[in-house]
Structure 1
Amino acid sequence: MDSTAVTPYSPRRPGTDRFVPVRGLDYHVITWGDPSLVTPDRPALFMVHGWMDVGASFQFVVDALAELEGETRYILAADWRGFGLTRVPPTDSYWFADYLGDLDALLHHVDLGLHGESPVDLLGHSMGGNVVMSYAGVRPERIRRLVNLEGFGLPETRPHHAPKRLRQWLDELRTDASLRDYATVEAVAERLIKNNPRLDPTRAAWLATHWAEPRADGRWHILGDPAHKRANPVLYRKEEILETWKLITAPVLWVEGNETDVTKWWGNRYPREDFEARLSVVPKVEKTLLTDCGHMLHHDQPTALAERLLSFLQAA
């Protein structure tokens, strides 16, 4: 691909960058519209991204929603701590519970017009999908509709896995974590397309400027703390997670791409029937399979995703 000849994507509904104080951090939140658009039938739509992604990643879906219904919805997307423009003090590890704490604070933030007084529609992709499922179980009164984009969870762990995981974490703490940097923004776009060959080059060119930034050394650096790459010493306890899923009261829309292959991530450690059994504990679930897309379905098929979202969010 001759990335130098690509004209970047032009957003139909540009967002506004906001920084709000959350648990000692200046949290970056993109907003589209304002709280005056909120009604009981059309609450704020809050979206959270996955691992090594950014809130701007949802721009294509926001634009598709605007094409379908006009600019009538108040939408927000946050950069998780240590991703995008939500900077953190130097740290060597990240903890799942902190994402829940951050989300809870964000959804009650006065500066965002979210006072904790009325439910929101909540959407999460991948890691973000895992966060919103747990959150919706422990704060069910805050969620009107819940959307999970391929937040599968993780393979089941057992107590005997703990020593090896702890040893791995300790070993990784001894070395500096790093992420590759790039000579040009075009090279960043090429990396995005290498990660997801379905990504349209114009979208990649636009997203690259939000996924990375130029620094004093003249190179482009990924906006993700490399400490995220370290193993988590806390095991994923399926039984505990499912206890929160059982408490979800909001209708849930599960969306996945027909070309997603989870065996590339986990091999045979997480069979499909295990996931189906997990999802079966959620009281109200609708499932949707989008075609011609993989894990980054909000990049691959934003219009098809927006159509399905509207059908779900507007349902009586």
Structure 2
Amino acid sequence: MVGLDADHEAWTAAQSATTAVVDGRELDVAYYEAGREHGGPPVVFLHGIPTWSYLWRAVAPAVAEERHVIAPDFPGYGNSQRTDDFDRSVRAQTSVLADLLAEEGYEHVDLVAHDIGGGVALRYAAARPQHVRKLVLSNAACFDSWPVEYVNSLGVPGVVEGWDDEEFDAELDFLFAEGAYGDADPAFVAGMKAPWEREGGRTALARAAVATNTNDTTGIDYAAITAETLCLWGGDDVLQPVSNAERLADAVAGDATVEPLSEAYHWVIHDRTEAYRERLAAFLAA
């Protein structure tokens, strides 16, 4: 199991590979897994855009000390398949999640999700309420709250591909370094940037951005979600403000709690790692 301070290369080395079928197409999926020996329902960590499972590097290994954890890279992200010929939408990524979990035959799961991973978790929990026990949402895409204008701009044909290396590096720093609260951890920034800096990364980022579709969350039957829900939110986020968490808590059928973490923007898992980890562990153990 990788340590809580693993760099992106160590995280990649710790990943395994499998496949998921979406729209009749088999796609390669990289994932981090630990704690299988604990048995019981797994805790599945879902990232958003433009991150990958490395987002959970300081959280998932800690949870794995007590629970079985799985953190996939959605197709189009991280170390999963990134060819230019498949759907990367929240709808499609929900199918990826469903296929991965069905393959293992898990009867119940707990979902922990950030950004558009939250949209995936919400769609899955609404469609399969009997299978999701606990649901943790962090600055999640929901209702009509997304995509944000900047992400939309990345999907305009030719924009990302048109940047030179210096411009591309500056844009990624804007996303990850300047988007953090206070001084960004260099390991976090380097890890988030790494997949997009590889060959084909610019096109992959553009395809991920253009696949963002508000309809994937406006059509969710939120009242069908019966899981106990914790909205563990970056309290200072302007992209997905706390008011969205409060709206979510009112909309779901299960017991729901909103807990904003101060001094945290959109990257709440990075900005308030220790507080996030402690509150998550308490919620999962209750």
TM bucket normalised to smaller: 0.7 to 0.9
Aligned residues with identical type, % of pairs: 20
- Tell me the alpha carbon deviations over residues 66-121 of structure 1, each in whole angstroms, 9 at most, x when there is no partner: 6xxx7232211111121111124323864332111111011123xxxx323x3111
Q: Residue 138 of structure 1 aligns with which residue?
A: 127
- Stretch deviating more after TM superposition (130-139 or 200-209): 200-209
Task: State the match for 1:100 in structure 2.
Answer: 94
Q: Which amino acid aligns with 1:103?
A: L
Number of the residue aligned with 2:234: 257
Aligned-partner SS, 1:140:
coil
SS at match of 2:98: helix
8 Å contact kept, 1:32–1:75: yes
Give matches, 1:279-298, under 5 Å.
Answer: 279-283=249-253, 284-298=255-269
- Listed as ranges, the gaps of 5+ residues in structure 2 are 147-151
Residue number in structure 2 paired with 1:37: 38
- Structure 1 stretches of 4+ with a deviation exceeding 2 A read 9-12, 70-73, 91-96, 154-157, 175-183, 185-192, 194-206, 208-215, 220-225, 228-238, 274-279
Match of 2:44 in 1: 46
> 2:31 aligns to what SS in structure 1?
strand
Aligned to 2:280: 309
- Structure 1 residues 211 and 233: alpha-carbon distance in aligned structure 2, compared to 1, 3 A threshold: closer
Secondary structure of the structure 2 residue equivalent to 1:141: coil
Q: CA deviation at 1:237?
A: 6.5
Question: Residues 149 and 18 from structure 1, CA distance in 2 versus in 1: closer, same or farther, beyond 3 angstroms?
Answer: same
Structure of greater Rg: 1
Q: Is the contact made by 1:26 and 1:87 (CA closer than 8 Å) also made in structure 2?
A: yes
Structure 1 stretches of 5 or more lacking a match?
Answer: 1-8, 158-167
Letter aligned with residue 229 of structure 1: A
Q: 1:302 to 1:277 in 2, by over 3 A?
A: closer
> What is the distance in 2 between the residues matched to 1:312 and 1:286?
10
How many residues are treated as equivalent by the alignment? 265
Could you say which residue in structure 1 is the equivalent of 2:144? 155
Residue in structure 2 matched with residue 162 of structure 1 by the alignment: none
Residues in 2 aligned to 1:201 and 1:233: alpha-carbon distance in whole angstroms: 31
Distance 1:92 1:205, change over 3 A: closer
Secondary structure of residue in 2 paired with 1:83: coil
The 5-angstrom pairing of residues 1-316 of structure 1 reads 10-11=5-6, 16-23=14-21, 24-33=26-35, 35-39=36-40, 43-63=41-61, 65=62, 71-91=65-85, 94-109=88-103, 114-116=104-106, 118-155=107-144, 175-176=157-158, 178-179=160-161, 180=163, 182=165, 190-191=173-174, 192-198=176-182, 200-204=184-188, 206-208=190-192, 210-215=194-199, 221=201, 224-230=204-210, 235=215, 238=218, 240-241=219-220, 243=221, 245-262=222-239, 272=243, 276-283=246-253, 284-315=255-286
In 1, the alpha carbon distance for the partners of 2:242 and 2:277 equals 29
Q: Cα gap change, 1:225/1:312 in structure 2, threshold over 3 Å: closer, same or farther?
A: same
Aligned Cα RMSD in Å?
3.5
User: Which has the larger displacement, 15-24 or 187-196?
Assistant: 187-196
Deviation (angstroms), 1:58: 0.5
Determine the C-alpha separation between the residues in 1 that align with 2:172 and 2:158.
26
Secondary structure at the aligned position of 1:194 is classed as coil
Q: In structure 2, what is the Cα distance between the partners aligned to 1:107 and 1:181?
A: 40
1:195/1:230 CA distance change after superposition, 3 Å: same
Q: Partners of 1:271 and 1:208 in 2: how far apart?
A: 24
Corresponding residue of 1:165 = none
Query: Is the Cα contact below 8 Å between 1:177 and 1:230 reproduced in 2?
Result: no
State the AA in 2 paired with 1:249: T
User: If the length of structure 1 is used for normalisation, what is the TM-score?
Assistant: 0.71
